[in-house]
Amino acid sequence: EVAALLDESVKAVVGTGQIHRAVECLRAALALQKLGPLDRARFLLELAALQRRVGRPEEALKSLGLAAGVADSNTAQAREIDEAILAFYREENRLEELAAQREKELQNNSTSPVYLWRVARVRMVRNSLGQARDLLAEGLQKNPGHLLLLSTLADVAALQGKHAEVRDIARDLAAR
């Protein structure tokens, strides 16, 4: 399988300390368009991590954006990529930029659970837990019982030390 061979090859090149070469290998393999969407998104995420290691943050951001576009239909992978994007902006001290971008996206998709979750996650990282909680509660009114919103609300409640609420949400989730 192409993906397994590529994965093994990139790991071997990285293992020798030739990160720049690994970046070029991944970039060339991705350009061939021979990978399925899940593998393509996974390798774009890996490419972004390697690009950051070699000091190419803007290229890494572009790779993360491409990965997000490819992974649209796979919720678990899309969430992983969104978390990588959030980590990138946090580590690059650009959270304000991401916050503005996410808020604008939410204006155009005000009922979408994914866009609500993205804004809530940025607010959580910025330690605006009350605002994240309010947004998630509003999102759950529009999307009752949505798993992603409920689990994130439980995360916020835990961060706020509201353990009884976490238990109630966990019971609700278990009942589904």
Residue 149 has pLDDT above 80, yes or no: yes
Kindly indicate the confidence band of residue 173, based on its pLDDT and cuts at 50, 70 and 90: confident
The reported pTM is 0.85
Q: What is the dihedral of CA 144, 148, 153, 155, to 10 degrees?
A: 160
Q: Provide the residue type at 107 as one letter.
A: Q
Stretch 1-11: mean pLDDT, rounded?
A: 92
**CB neighbours of residue 11 within 10 Å:** 11
Q: What is the pLDDT of residue 74?
A: 60
**CB neighbours of residue 129 within 10 Å:** 17
CB-based burial label for 94 (10 Å; 0-12, 13-18, 19+): middle
Q: Provide the residue type at 118 as one letter.
A: R
Contact yes or no for 77/42 (Cβ under 8 A): yes
- Within 57-146, residue ranges assigned H as helices are 57-70, 75-91, 95-108, 113-125, 129-142
Q: Of 161, 165, 142, 141, whose CA–CA distance to 151 is shortest?
A: 165
Q: pLDDT tens, 78-101?
A: 899 999 999 999 999 999 999 999
Q: What is the pLDDT of residue 175?
A: 84
Residue 75 has pLDDT above 80, yes or no: no
* Helix 113-125 vs helix 129-142: crossing angle, to nearest 10: 170
